[in-house]
Amino acid sequence: MGIPNIVLTRIDNRLVHGQVGVVWTSSIGANLLLVANDDAAKSELQQELMSATAETSEVGIRFWSLEKTITTIEKASPRQKIFLIVKTPQDVLRLVQGGVPIAELNVGNMHHSEGKVQLTKKVYVDQDDKDTFSKLVELGVDVYIQDVPEERKIAIKDVI
């Protein structure tokens, strides 16, 4: 099979919701949403809710654990235009270190929690997140913050 056609990888704490499933999916021309998240891969309720959004956009959706994503994504058909959605920068690093060819990382939503500082209106990070982003940049991933397609990209290295 070879190299999967990953059109975009995005971090979003909410995974698939209207903005991701409709706005981003149509903007990048994806035809498959791949949610790489261990919890979502096991939760029928989460899958049901996210699948409804995918149906609205008339695209396929899969829910894989991080490990399954690492071991299976290279089997994707070239006609699959994959929108890879993950929850944390640490998940992305695990995928990259596992051999998933992620060239570009869109940071969308990372909610506030204790110990996190605000980078932009919707992105909050702690030191571990900053270190992980730096490692991804070192590995050659183009990491940027962009909430919606119309907004300008902010290079992560400019704000951490």
**Residue-by-residue pLDDT tens, the chain, 160 positions:** 579 999 999 999 999 988 888 899 999 999 999 999 999 999 999 999 999 989 988 999 999 999 999 999 999 999 999 999 999 999 999 999 999 999 999 999 999 999 999 999 999 999 999 999 999 999 999 999 999 999 999 999 999 9
Long-range contacts of 146-150 (CB under 8 A, 24+ apart): 146/106, 146/107, 146/108, 147/108, 147/109, 147/120, 147/121, 147/122, 148/19, 148/23, 148/24, 149/23, 149/24, 149/27, 149/28
71-109 residue pLDDT tens: 999 999 999 999 999 999 999 999 999 999 999 999 999
**Are the beta carbons of 43 and 64 closer than 8 angstroms?**
no
Residue 61 within a domain: yes
Active site residues: 17
Q: Which two tokens stand for residue 10?
A: 């995005």
The enclosing domain of 105 has a CATH number of: 3.40.35.10
Distances (CA, A) of 146 to 52, 110, 122, 135: 24, 12, 10, 19
Domain extent for 70:
6-158
> How many domains are there within the chain?
1
| Residue at 134 is within a domain | yes
Does some domain include residue 51? yes
Rounded Cα distance, 92 and 111, in Å:
17
Asked if residue 1 belongs to a domain, the reply is no
